[in-house]
């Protein structure tokens, strides 16, 4: 018995010595601490590991439904958030214009469509931007909207779903085309206002369409093209724009009061600058849960203008993308911007604006 105890003690001493050596020896080596890049897997490696995992390893929710096993078998897993790329673009008179003037040739044409050179430039810019949803200003007829859709599809950008909206202006309208289904459309209750005793209707109307992405999220778009800065005899252009902005703001309030978590995006050619009354009205009170925030957009040179008015030789920021507070965490600011390809002025007097949401 004593001999066995002695052997056990010897064995324990030997194991202890080996373990101690294993701990001490590595500490005597001069070895640099590995960097995070050496230790942590790359994004690509993580993605491959996730793809390699069997789907059965995903946790199953516990349900009190007695038929939960049958339900679980029939349910389809929700799609991952795919995000959304949105482009807002005033394509400058994609319509039959009664008197079209070409600044290059200095020639006027009667009842002429948008020149083919300009149309090709628009299509080129949009195909490079690859939007999931495209909001358009200065569209003529529904046939003109279909013309854009067809040209884009032939160039490789298929946006099969569309919505067309109009106001009292019989020439220029609004259009929205989308890769994803348009699940609903609506119209504001109020589209008229009074100015100096006269009644006016919002010129290009308010486009209201809701798109659903594959991850089952709904995105509601409100498109506008407010009164231009050109003076007219009927009324003050600034006051007309302010009144149109108030009609849009009223529609926004009605939507967000009914559904405070609405994923709401308002876009278009607002024909006014950031500090103007019209833009402040649309934004709403800064700290309100129903505020609409304009994305701070700039181009690759950190310039902020979106419109060039040749007659006045002036550059202005007129085009915006506003988002509701429910979308605050989804805006990918580093991916948003003003599109500034070399051929921008061959396509339109406006530059397109890009909003990316994740």
> Could you tell me the domains of the chain?
84-357 (3.60.10.10)
Residue owning tokens 């429910």: 326
pLDDT at position 346, please? 96
Give residue 105's pLDDT. 75
Q: Give the span between the Cα atoms of 158 and 163, in whole angstroms.
A: 15
Identify which of 97, 82, 128, 124 has the alpha carbon closest to the alpha carbon of residue 356.
82
Using the structure block, give the residue that is written with the tokens 């890009």: 354
Per-position DSSP letters for 117-178, written without gaps between them:
HHHHHHHHHHHHH--SEEEEEEE-SHHHHHHHHHHHHHTT----EEEEE--S-SS-EEEEEE
The per-residue pLDDT for range 311-334, each reduced to its tens digit, is: 888 999 999 999 999 999 999 999
| pLDDT per residue of the chain (358 residues) written in tens, 0 to 9 | 444 444 444 444 444 444 444 433 333 333 333 333 333 333 344 334 434 444 333 333 323 333 333 333 333 344 456 789 999 999 999 999 988 877 677 788 899 999 999 999 999 999 999 999 999 999 999 999 999 999 999 999 999 999 999 999 999 999 999 999 999 999 999 999 999 999 999 999 999 999 999 999 999 999 999 999 999 988 999 999 999 999 999 999 999 999 999 999 999 999 999 999 999 999 999 889 999 999 999 999 999 999 998 888 899 999 999 999 999 999 999 999 999 999 999 999 999 999 999 9
Q: Are 239 and 209 in contact (CB under 8 A)?
A: no
Contacts for 241 with CB less than 8 Å, ≥ 6 apart:
226, 227, 271, 272, 278
pLDDT for position 82:
77
């Amino acid at each position: 018995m004593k001999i066995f105890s002695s052997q056990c003690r010897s064995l324990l001493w030997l194991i202890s010595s080996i373990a101690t050596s294993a701990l001490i020896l590595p500490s005597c080596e001069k070895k640099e601490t590995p960097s995070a890049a050496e230790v942590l897997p790359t994004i690509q490696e993580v993605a491959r590991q996730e793809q390699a995992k069997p789907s059965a390893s995903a946790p199953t929710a516990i349900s009190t439904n007695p038929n939960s096993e049958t339900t679980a078998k029939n349910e389809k897993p929700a799609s991952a958030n795919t995000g959304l790329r949105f482009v807002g673009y005033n394509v400058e008179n994609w319509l039959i214009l009664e008197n079209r003037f070409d600044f290059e040739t200095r020639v006027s044409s009667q009842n002429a469509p948008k020149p083919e050179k300009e149309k090709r430039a628009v299509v080129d810019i949009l195909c490079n931007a690859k939007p999931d949803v495209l909001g358009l200003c200065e569209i003529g007829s529904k046939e003109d909207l279909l013309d854009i859709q067809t040209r884009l599809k032939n160039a490789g950008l298929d946006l099969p779903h569309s919505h067309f909206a109009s106001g009292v202006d019989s020439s220029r309208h609004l259009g929205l085309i989308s890769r994803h289904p348009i699940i609903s459309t609506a119209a504001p209750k109020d589209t008229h206002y009074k100015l100096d005793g006269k009644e006016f209707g919002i010129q290009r109307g308010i486009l209201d369409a809701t798109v659903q992405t594959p991850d089952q999220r709904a995105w509601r778009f409100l498109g506008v093209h407010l009164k231009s800065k050109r003076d007219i005899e009927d009324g003050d252009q600034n006051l007309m724009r302010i009144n149109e902005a108030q009609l849009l703001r009223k529609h926004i309030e009605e939507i967000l009061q009914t559904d405070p978590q609405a994923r709401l995006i308002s876009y278009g050619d607002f024909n006014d600058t950031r500090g103007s009354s019209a833009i402040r009205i649309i934004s709403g009170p800064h700290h309100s849960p129903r505020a609409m925030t304009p994305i701070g957009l700039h181009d690759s040179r950190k310039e902020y203008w979106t419109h060039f008015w040749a007659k006045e030789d002036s550059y202005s920021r007129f085009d915006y993308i506003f988002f509701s507070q429910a979308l605050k965490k989804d805006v990918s600011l580093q991916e948003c911007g003003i599109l500034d390809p070399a051929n921008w002025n061959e396509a339109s007097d406006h530059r397109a604006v890009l909003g990316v949401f994740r």
